[in-house]
Amino acid sequence: MSSPSSHKKTLTALDVTIYTVSAVLLVDQIAMAAAVGPAAIFWWLVIIVLFLIPNTLVTAELGTAYPEQGGIYAWVRDAFNTRWAARITWQYWINIALWMPAVYIMFAGIFAALFAPEMSLWAQIGLGVALCWLTTWANCIRLDYSKWIPNVGTLTKFAVILTLGGAGIFYGLNHGFANDLGFGAAMDDLSAGLLYLPVVVYGCLGIELISAESDEIIKPERNIPRAMLGAGLVAAAFYIFGTVGVLAAVPAENVDMVDILAVTLKELFGGSALGDSMALLIGALALYTLFSTMVTWTLGGNRAAVEAADAKEMPALFGWVHPEHKAPIGSAVLTGIISSSILILYGLMANSAEELFWTLFSFSAIIFLLPYLAMHLAFLKLRLSDAKRPRPFRIPGGTVGAFAISLLCLTILSMAIVLFVWVPGEPLDLMFITQVGGGVLITLAIGEYLVRWGEAQKKQQRVGALEAGSA
């Protein structure tokens, strides 16, 4: 594990805040939420109140009470043991490697819709593979440089979402709203929203990511809670504003997960040379936000994997870092290899870009949600077993309030996992469940093998050390 001050303090309060917003605020989540229709606004409000805010409070307390490099890995390790921490780190890390292909399929779909309408699925997959390796490169350079990718990306997200929201509302006021955004219409469509409810939950996660780089943050006990609370509120406001804008311009039934942003931009700005140019510009900025999001997540996930490898709980290759600036080279390269392979494998199985996107997204999302269950269980455990530890930020309401908030988050996370594969009242899609469920089980099995392999290696090293000492 990294020792205190083993990393250069490079992240300022502004960096931490912008980085956290970049992790939570995802432009593609607005597109997916818009597919729900008017009910999306209702679900955003519900999940913000019942999950985003409570989850942010829990994460802020953990991040300030345990400001250790590795984030979730360190919290689970302190609460339970290194084996469980390694399992969770594997899930956290491999989710990003599985999620990245889904994001870059959306990238390629938007690119094709805006710039190359005849682009084939395999050409889109080729573009996605190239982006995977560009993201790998961004992880292998100094954090002083790579941090600017999410920093610029956050400002770009603001510009894109403000444009989508503002232009969409303006379009609705002048040409009529494409969807009925009244409260009554939203309430009439609540059952349909269950299909996409886990997507909304998914869009509220990532607050904790900056804690994976705690040792590189200047004054983490002060800057972490401010960044997390501020980022949560900013992301909530932008999510709602952007979703309203998309629904104002595009009928919900016309929403396609992959190219909805391109469709919305053409609807808002198309029809003239200037409008078409504006659509292409905003579209290009939206594409950059997808890239910056993946850089943000890989920077955090790969550093968590390094901590597990340093503790000898994962193979040493995960812990291969640059000797000078500590960039997670081993984890980054492995991410690139897995993401590229998954893109090609799923390309052989999917009939369309949207089908490929949704299968990849559901598969990775379930893996992604599991570490958050462990995080909240770790929070509950540490609140009892380490009650005297100083907590610069503490959830209001004492132990009862903290437990109630964390248990609420655990309930919502569990519901989201179920809803990713089956919605009550809908017929079971056995092929989809088999693909997603089988992938999840295989992923967990691989993680268990790696954890036990790491433990065996560590035990062998201890035996070798004892034999050398006795000799």
pLDDT for the residue numbered 459:
77
Looking at residue 221, its pLDDT comes to 77
Give pLDDT, residue 469.
67
Burial classification of residue 134, based on how many CB atoms lie within 10 Å of its CB (0-12 exposed, 13-18 middle, 19 or more buried): middle
Tokens of 364: 């990775």
Query: Hey, what are 71's tokens?
Result: 């984030």
Amino acid at 82: T
β-sheet bridge partners, residue 11:
217
- Taking the C-alpha atoms of residue 282 and residue 471, their distance in angstroms, rounded to an integer, is 69
By C-alpha distance, which of 185, 206, 198, 202 is closest to 248? 185
Q: Provide the CA 371 distance to its chain's centre, in angstroms.
A: 12
Which segments of the chain have a pLDDT < 50? 1-5
Beta bridge partners of 217: 11
What pLDDT score does 193 carry?
62
pLDDT at 431: 81
Q: Between helices 260-269 and 82-115, what is the axis angle to 10°? A: 40
Instruction: Report helix, strand and coil shares of the chain as percent, to nearest 5.
Output: 80, 0, 20
* Phi, psi dihedral angles at 324 (to 5 degrees): -100, -55
| Nearest alpha carbon to residue 97 among 462, 468, 439, 457 | 439
Determine the Cα–Cα distance for residues 332 and 304; give it in Å rounded to an integer: 11
Q: Give the Cα-Cα-Cα angle 268, 273, 279 (nearest 5 degrees).
A: 35
The reported pLDDT for the residue numbered 2 is 43
pLDDT number for residue 325: 82
Instruction: Report the pLDDT value the prediction gives residue 355, as an integer from 0 to 100.
Output: 64
- Count Cβ neighbours within 10 Å for each residue of 65-82 and write b for 16 or more, e otherwise: bbbbbbbbbbbbbbbbeb
Residue 5's pLDDT is 46
Residues with Cβ within 8 Å of 346's Cβ and at least 6 positions away in sequence, in order, are 101, 356, 359, 360
Spatial neighbors of 298 by CB under 8 A, at least 6 apart, are 96, 100, 135, 136, 138, 139, 332, 335
Identify the CA nearest to 121 among candidates 354, 315, 330, 279.
Answer: 354
Q: Computed over its alpha carbons, how large is the radius of gyration of the chain?
A: 22
